[in-house]
């Protein structure tokens, strides 16, 4: 890394002045009225009785779970005598809007257990239960931000390792969102689904949550005579944009920040089950259309099987046979105005679950501006398995072993795809090992292998990475990796490496990055956006909390990127000055100005329309965004951007509107328009999207999405009816339609699927 020329471009004086001017002009205008009684948000909590504490220094609370002295019926009423035997856990503290002050409404949580379940009962007192915001009745809360609704949350660190845990979020309508948190809040996996029984009730004094979590849902060490778990509880009051926690948290942290959780003493003995889940499925499918692969044409029936087996308290095996993902929501259409490939996130359950364990490469760090994201480089990207060019190929089967052995995290994955048309079948293997070092650091290794099963060659990749937390505010992250493939030359430059250092406290954040990607670096089961370059990045920003009505905090910042070729020629520079603002009502505003330089050895085409010629370009662009709070019946967003574009001009406008009269119905529409001038060429690249969700109950709901990509003249529709007929057992009816809308209407296709799954637990 020492060979990198550590020079960061100086941010131009006009950009620095604009950031200061924006802060002075916009801050007074941010005094937004509260949706409650016309008062300014945060005024109630500011007047709360109690001494403010520093959430970073406050001691962690402790409690205990009690043995249930009688039966507990999960109906949301908390009226069984057994609940009175448990001591209430109280004293919730605000993280937002007034960090360290007592919550404006009281919350009481009790924990019970018996030989089958862990029970959690919570009473959320509320002076205005008629203003509760539920958001949705659907499991996992799709399309709804956790910051925009009333919530009760539970975090369970069952091994007390202060790094990993289970997360359950429940809204007043009884819809649950569950997931796993890894590496002290660094990675979240909301694809994990738990068998859990939940019921809620709303009454004149507030609302209640009653939960029963089977012991077979959780992983813990049953050999311990007494269980001591890391635990935290969260409550959101949407109309006040208030977030509180039992174990106090600073506003930049969430409930799954494991090292700041409290502790709860659990049951002295916990039964151990076989921890086997079997989930077969059957489906009937009808496919039509000239571009649909032959193996998906016509009417056909199929079936498959998923198996989950808890081999040990900390190690799980997952197996899938003839996996099918036809019920998964289609990808969001994107407009690509750059010369680099587009990154699409993984949506398929088998690959998303425990995906945080296999992460290696660039990723967005919570609370830090790092200069990169997952769209830049990943040594393993599961969309390379079972998808070719974004279209599915048969996934014959796969297996995954994931968990912990002592202080070492272990992840092993193997999958096989079938041959279709001109695409050969492949075998994919991934091995991930990561060892814990100290309380919050780790080092690891990842190896991937892609082997054609029909003599089409092979590709292998391997690397080592390191993540160090040096105190509460300083992070250091680094990796180095290389690739090899059949037919490669000994002279190939096929390695990559990076070093990233970041600081974040309650006010300041800063980071610096140096990374390199060789021109021949090619992970066959990964993703790389840009090769053959060295990338330097630096940023510094602040998060002051000014005493301005209606303003939570502001975030002025500057950042700079510099990309050079492997021969040292400057290819790209980006210098940005920006300002972000968070309002007390939950709204957000951001603006930035960026000066760019791009040197192109080869030109590229923009969305199949305009041509950018090779050459050197310098231009400036500006952007502003506003997102209103989603806790109202009508919410929305606005975006505007304008400036130069490779010797021409670009103007972008985006708007979104969401209407939700109650948790059973929501309608969202979004439009993005990009008008581009390149010399004598003028064209547009526009996207339109609408989404309708209708829920009859927490078990039966309908969702529909329609997208139109004007540049590609492509209309994509997806309609999905879901019925949860038993715990983690679903029936889906899905219609997906893709059709061309221009003069050439070839390439349309339609897929109709009926799929039924059933969970069998042993």
- Can you give the residue ranges of every domain in the chain? 31-265
Q: Which of 150-154, 396-400, 746-750 has the lowest mean pLDDT?
A: 746-750
What is the model's pLDDT at position 271?
A: 66
Kind of pairing, strands 66-67 and 107-113? parallel
Which tokens go with 41?
A: 């948000």
Q: Which of 35-39, 390-394, 577-581, 757-761 has the lowest mean pLDDT?
A: 35-39
Plot region of 127 (φ>0 → left; ψ -120 to 50 → alpha; else → beta): alpha
Model confidence pLDDT, tens digit, residues 78-87: 999 999 889 9
Across residues 621-638, what is the average pLDDT? Answer: 95
Question: What rounded mean pLDDT belongs to the chain?
Answer: 87
| Residue 634 scores a pLDDT above 80 | yes
Q: What is the pTM of this model?
A: 0.86
Across residues 233-237, what is the average pLDDT? Answer: 97
Bridge partners (DSSP) of residue 379 are none
44 close to 240: Cβ distance less than 8 angstroms = yes
What is the model's pLDDT at position 330?
A: 77
Q: Does domain 31-265 have CATH number 1.10.10.10?
A: no
Bridge partners (DSSP) of residue 112 are 66, 119
Distant-in-sequence, close-in-space partners of 530: CB < 8 Å, separation ≥ 6: 340, 376, 517, 563
Across residues 601-627, what is the average pLDDT? Answer: 92
What is the model's pLDDT at position 433?
A: 96
Cis geometry, peptide bond prior to residue 137 (ω within 30 degrees of 0): no
What is the model's pLDDT at position 299?
A: 93
Distance CA 279, CA 274 (A): 15
Position 27 confidence tier, pLDDT thresholds 50, 70, 90 = very low
Q: Which of 187-191, 313-317, 388-392 has the lowest mean pLDDT?
A: 388-392
| Residue 8 scores a pLDDT above 60 | no
297 close to 281: Cβ distance less than 8 angstroms = no
Beta strands in 127-275 (DSSP E): 151-157, 165-170, 176-182, 187-189, 197-203, 206-214, 228-237, 242-245, 262-265
Higher pLDDT, 15 or 481: 481
b/e map 121-139, b = 16+ CB within 10 Å: bbbbebeebebbbbbbbbb
Which tokens go with 486?
A: 């059949």
Position 743 confidence tier, pLDDT thresholds 50, 70, 90 = low
Distance CA 650, CA 675 (A): 6
| Residue 49 scores a pLDDT above 50 | no
């Amino acid at each position: 890394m020492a060979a990198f020329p550590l020079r960061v471009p100086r941010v131009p004086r006009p950009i620095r002045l604009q950031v200061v001017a924006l802060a002075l002009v916009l801050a007074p205008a941010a005094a937004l009225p509260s949706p409650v009684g016309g008062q300014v948000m945060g005024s109630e909590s500011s007047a709360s009785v109690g001494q403010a504490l520093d959430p970073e220094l406050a001691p962690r609370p402790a409690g205990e779970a009690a043995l249930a002295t009688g039966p507990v019926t999960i109906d949301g009423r908390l009226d069984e005598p057994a609940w009175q035997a448990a001591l209430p856990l109280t004293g919730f503290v605000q993280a937002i809007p007034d960090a360290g002050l007592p919550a404006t409404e009281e919350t009481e949580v009790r924990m019970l257990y018996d030989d089958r379940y862990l029970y959690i009962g919570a009473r959320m007192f509320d002076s205005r239960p008629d203003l509760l915001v539920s958001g949705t009745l659907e499991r996992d809360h799709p399309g709804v931000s956790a910051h925009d609704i009333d919530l009760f949350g539970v975090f369970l660190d069952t091994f007390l390792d202060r790094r990993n845990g289970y997360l359950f979020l429940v809204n007043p309508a009884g819809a649950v969102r569950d997931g796993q948190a890894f590496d002290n809040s660094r990675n979240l996996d909301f694809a994990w689904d738990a068998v859990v029984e939940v019921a809620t009730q709303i009454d004149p004094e507030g609302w209640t949550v009653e939960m029963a979590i089977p012991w077979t849902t959780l992983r813990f060490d049953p050999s311990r005579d007494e269980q001591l778990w890391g635990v935290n509880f969260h409550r959101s009051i949407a109309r006040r944009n208030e977030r509180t926690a039992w174990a106090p948290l600073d506003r930049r942290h969430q409930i799954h920040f494991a090292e700041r959780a409290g502790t709860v003493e659990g049951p002295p003995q916990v039964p151990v089950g076989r921890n086997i889940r079997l989930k077969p499925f059957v489906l009937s499918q009808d496919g039509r259309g000239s571009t649909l692969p032959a193996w998906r044409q016509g009417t056909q029936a199929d079936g498959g099987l998923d198996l989950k087996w808890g081999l040990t308290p900390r190690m799980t095996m997952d197996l899938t046979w003839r996996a099918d993902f036809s019920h998964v929501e289609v990808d969001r259409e994107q407009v690509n105005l750059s010369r680099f490939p587009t990154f699409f996130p993984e949506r398929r359950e088998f690959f998303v679950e425990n995906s945080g364990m296999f992460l290696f490469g660039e990723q967005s760090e919570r609370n830090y501006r790092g200069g990169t994201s997952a769209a830049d480089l990943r040594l393993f990207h599961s969309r390379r398995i079972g998808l070719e060019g974004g279209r599915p190929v048969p996934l014959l089967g796969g297996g995954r072993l994931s968990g912990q052995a002592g202080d070492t995290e272990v992840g092993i994955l193997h999958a096989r795809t079938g041959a279709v048309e001109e695409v050969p079948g492949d075998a994919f293997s991934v091995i991930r090992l990561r060892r814990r070092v100290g309380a919050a650091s780790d080092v690891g290794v990842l190896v991937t292998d892609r082997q054609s099963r029909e003599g089409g060659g092979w590709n292998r990749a391997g690397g080592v990475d390191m993540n160090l937390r040096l105190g509460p505010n300083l992070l250091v992250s680094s990796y180095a990796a290389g690739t090899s493939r059949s037919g490669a030359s000994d002279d190939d430059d096929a390695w990559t490496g990076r070093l990233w250092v970041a600081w974040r406290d309650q006010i300041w954040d800063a980071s610096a990055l140096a990374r390199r990607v060789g021109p021949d670096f090619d992970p066959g089961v990964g993703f790389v956006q840009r090769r053959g370059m060295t990338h330097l990045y630096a940023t510094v920003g602040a998060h002051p909390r000014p005493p301005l009505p209606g303003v939570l905090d502001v975030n002025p910042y500057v950042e700079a990127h510099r990309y050079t070729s492997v021969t040292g020629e400057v290819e790209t520079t980006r210098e940005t000055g920006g300002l972000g603002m968070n309002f007390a009502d939950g709204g957000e505003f951001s603006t930035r100005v960026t000066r760019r330089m791009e040197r192109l050895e080869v030109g590229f085409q923009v969305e199949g329309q305009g041509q950018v010629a090779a050459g050197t370009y310098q231009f400036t662009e500006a952007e502003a965004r506003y997102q209103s709070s989603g806790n109202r019946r009508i919410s929305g967003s606005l975006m505007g951007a304008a400036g130069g574009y490779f010797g021409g001009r670009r103007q972008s406008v985006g708007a979104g509107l969401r209407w939700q009269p109650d948790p059973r119905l929501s309608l969202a529409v979004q439009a993005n328009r990009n008008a581009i001038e390149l010399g004598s060429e003028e064209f547009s690249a526009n996207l339109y999207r609408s989404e309708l969700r209708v829920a009859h109950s927490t078990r039966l709901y309908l969702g529909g999405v329609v997208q139109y990509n004007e540049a590609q003249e492509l209309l994509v529709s997806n309609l999905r009816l879901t019925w949860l007929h038993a715990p983690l057992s679903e029936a889906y009816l899905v219609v997906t339609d893709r059709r061309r809308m221009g003069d050439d209407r070839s390439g349309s296709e339609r897929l109709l699927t009926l799929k039924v799954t059933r969970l069998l637990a042993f």
